A and B are shown apart, each in its own frame.
Chain A
Amino acid sequence: MKYSSAFLAAILALLAPLTAAAFEPCIPCHLEKTPAAVAQWQGSAHAKAKVGCEKCHGTDHEKIVRGEARVDLRVCAPCHQKAFKEHSASRHGMGFHSGWGCTRNLPDRKKGECRFCHKEGDETPLSEVHCARFLKQSREMGEIGCNYCHSVEGSCDSCHSKHSTDLKIVRDPNSCAKCHMGPDHPQWEMWQTSLHGTLNASAGKSLGPDCQTCHMAKGTHNVSIGLTMNSGGVPFTPPKAEAGRAEMTKICSSCHAPAFARRELERDDAVRAQSLAILKEAEGIVWDLNDRGLLDPMPAERPPHPLSGSNLVTDSQMLYEDTSHIERLFFKMKKFDYARTVKGAYHQSPGYTHWYGNAELKMDLVDIKSEASRLRERKKGGIPAASTEEELKVLKNRFERGTLSAEQYAAEKARVLER
């Protein structure tokens, strides 16, 4: 009896893939056409739970062939409710299509990409978020250079792969590296060269925490827990920032004394504030030149910004192409060097904080001031000095941008009016 039971179990185990296949009309063909996908599925938790192809892909083969039945977040959500909710509440789930924009009027648009922003048959976009940098790209560049990362909002397979459900994949910081690297936000490199990263490499995860340890603590899909600024490095308002700080301190405290964690993070806050002040100084110079008509070329003299037309843009929709030289310097300063300084500090990376970040940031300011002087000197040669009206417009713009206090604004106006 004992032997017969064991024999039966062995037979069932051997037959398991075949049994599953028997329920799957797709398998016989796809064993030949996409054997890797079938093999991955056969080894997955989905196969074990008898979640077959049709459960995710549907049964309309024509639609699948046309590429219209891709498996996005909405397909996974009914079964993975907790992960769906956590993901949706996180930066991965919110506005990551900000790397997108409506391509309706672009040449060579790819029809299938509408699904990123529209439900099938619905013209209303899920969000009005557009990305000016995406809209400037060719279709090919947009696909590899933007969408590969910015589709994470709606595609679980951005991290999890398509048919395998092996958690080893997503628990490895390498899975984060494909997007979180490079000149604009090299968190992967920062972590690797930090004490956390080097300990992880030498002594393993128990001593050296990785991305998931701090940003997906206890397996949460909400990767934004504990953050105190937006993805552009702009600090949150106090109530939201305080809540984030409490969360991160708690996470750090699983290894460190809470007081130590708080002290470290407060030091990083100070670095952020100091760096932001440098950035704002440079931004004020660019706007001042714009107010005085000194940018070369001025926004009205170059191809229109995809979202703001002939207006100067230095916010998150700033472009690195079709701008003046000083704006291109500011783009590097803001998007690369400010980000590296601040994120380097929070990731405990001395090299990124100082040499790839802070030093570059300060040298950018030198370059921007120098370029501004050149532009002003050039004007002195050919154009008369600014009128009272022009001076007052410049002051008004500075006040509205917050670079002048009400008192300073009134005093400066009085000075101009007294002339």
Chain B
Amino acid sequence: MIASRGIVLLLILFLATLTGCAATLATTPLPDGFAVKIFTKVDAGEPFAVNRDGVFAAVVEGSVQIIEPAGGPGRVIAPAPATGLNFSPDGARLAALFATANQSLLRIFDLQGKLLGETLISGRVTSLAWRSDKELLATALTIKKFSFGSEFISVLHRWDTVAPPLATPLSDVTVRPFVAKLPEGELFRSLTMALSPYGDEIAYSALKDPPLYTPYLRIAVRHLETGAERTVAETGIGSGGPLYMPDGESLLTGDTRALTHQWSLAEGREMNAWPTAGNRIVLSPSGSYLLLEGSLYQGGREIATFPKESIGVFLPDGSGLALSARGFLFLVSGLQDPKPAGLSGELARTLELRRLHMLGLITDKEFKARLKKVPGREI
């Protein structure tokens, strides 16, 4: 009897050990053809990125490492943890962001870890986007505290990776003390930026705090060359996005009412909504898969759920999804993301129409009608 109890105990201990060491990704049943495997160990909650060739950059044991597609031990390129990582479009350069006291250090590395450039940016950099292989955009937020409230200064930096970045103010707002007492992470998330697939404009969020009203985030698009701006939507603090759809014609934003919205930029109307809050929104290259707070959607249908706190990035070829959860990087394979359609039509004419539209020189209706006439394009 004692022996049998001992066996049961040993069995329980053995199973418990298995649970502790085997990293598993808790999911709902996956669709046919989907598979999950552990790729590598990473620092939990830290950023990671993947380039067009499947090379990963991640924070592992407090350092930035390059990990080849086949996996295996990483190559340390920076001995400190980065707060943001982003590969250039050609995949040959990695932008890594390091936080200092009141500034952000932005460094560019090649895949061998050679430092190609660096710059210091005032405030905390909240978003990074490569406009081309030679131009990097970064939004930075500085918060100044006063007795009567806090001043939020949002600035867009355009950096050619050589000369000092060009700074453009985006927003300067003073909020009431109770707003400034929100968790720091939420406050810095109030400024997020996405680059249009056309590269001609950005969408960004900025905190607004009108007296007597609830504070909110203003979602605006800004034409980079002319500075022309339009407000697209308003949403609650803590919402995710904005994020461009791959065709550049619409934006995704989260809200605090458990919905994620798709807004038409030409018409300013809501086109679609998903029943998940969308504090973190990730889109597959073609736009057919959408990861919202761990919920994976295909079209309008939820096909799988992953841990809510997981951080996801779709592989650039659309074949899979990389998920960072509980200290491991998992690869979800079997996705059938079609090849991105690319930007259709004569690019120069499309860019001209987008510019005229942003400047308010043609109406939404005229913009849409003219876009249809662009050679090689239909919307």
Contacts and interface: CB of A to CB of B under 8 A. Distances in A.
Interface stretch (B55-63, B201-209, B295-303, B353-361): B353-361
B362 A392 contact: yes
Nearest to B370: A417
B53 interface: no
B184 interface: no
A401 to B, nearest CB: 16
A389 B362 contact: no
Interface in A384-407: 388-389, 392-393, 396
Given A413-B366, A417-B370, A389 B356 contact: yes
Contacts of A396: 360-361
Interface string B77-110: 0000000000000000000000000000000000
Contact of A413 (B355, B359, B362): B362
A273 B331 CA distance: 77
B352 interface: yes
A336 B362 CA distance: 39
B362 A417 contact: yes
A413 B360 CA distance: 12
A417 B360 CA distance: 14
Nearest to A387: B352
B360 A388 contact: no
Contacts of A417: 362, 366, 370
Contacts of B362: 392, 413, 417
B373 to A, nearest CB: 9
Interface residues of B, number: 9
Interface in B342-379: 352, 355-356, 359-362, 366, 370
Contacts of A410: 366
B366 A389 contact: no
A393 B356 CA distance: 10
A412 to B, nearest CB: 12
Nearest to A390: B361
A413 B361 CA distance: 9
A410 B352 CA distance: 18
A389 B355 contact: yes
Interface residues of A, number: 8
Interface string B155-193: 000000000000000000000000000000000000000
Contacts of B366: 410, 413, 417
A388 to B, nearest CB: 7
A137 B352 CA distance: 47
Contacts of A413: 361-362, 366
A408 to B, nearest CB: 15
Interface in A354-368: none
A393 B284 CA distance: 39
A297 B176 CA distance: 47
B263 to A, nearest CB: 25
Interface string A235-277: 0000000000000000000000000000000000000000000
A1 B192 CA distance: 107
Contacts of B359: 389, 392-393
A396 B366 CA distance: 14
Contacts of A389: 355-356, 359, 361
A135 B199 CA distance: 48
A329 B352 CA distance: 38
Contacts of B361: 389, 392-393, 396, 413
A393 B360 CA distance: 9
A87 B362 CA distance: 50
A123 to B, nearest CB: 24
B184 to A, nearest CB: 41
A392 B370 CA distance: 15
A158 B359 CA distance: 52
Nearest to B366: A413
B114 to A, nearest CB: 42
A396 B362 CA distance: 9
B130 to A, nearest CB: 27
A375 to B, nearest CB: 24
Nearest to A395: B361
Nearest to A414: B366
A410 B360 CA distance: 13
Nearest to A393: B361
A216 to B, nearest CB: 50
A417 B359 CA distance: 15
A206 B355 CA distance: 71
A393 B226 CA distance: 13
A410 B362 CA distance: 9
A385 to B, nearest CB: 16
A388 B355 CA distance: 11
Nearest to B353: A417
A396 B228 CA distance: 15
Contacts of B352: 388
Contacts of A393: 359, 361
B355 to A, nearest CB: 7
A392 B366 CA distance: 13
Nearest to B360: A396
Contacts of B360: 396
A388 B352 CA distance: 9
Nearest to B365: A410
A79 B42 CA distance: 90
Best-surrounded residue of B355, B359, B360, B361 (most CB of chain A within 10 A): B361
A413 B362 CA distance: 8
A146 B352 CA distance: 51
10 contacts: A389-B355, A389-B359, A392-B356, A392-B361, A393-B359, A410-B366, A413-B361, A413-B362, A413-B366, A417-B362
Leading 7 A-B pairs by shortest Cβ distance: A392-B361, A396-B361, A417-B370, A392-B356, A389-B356, A393-B361, A413-B362
Given A393-B359, A413-B361, A413-B366, 11 more contacts: A388-B356, A389-B355, A389-B359, A392-B361, A392-B362, A393-B361, A396-B361, A410-B366, A417-B362, A417-B366, A417-B370
Interface of A: 388-389, 392-393, 396, 410, 413, 417
Interface of B: 352, 355-356, 359-362, 366, 370
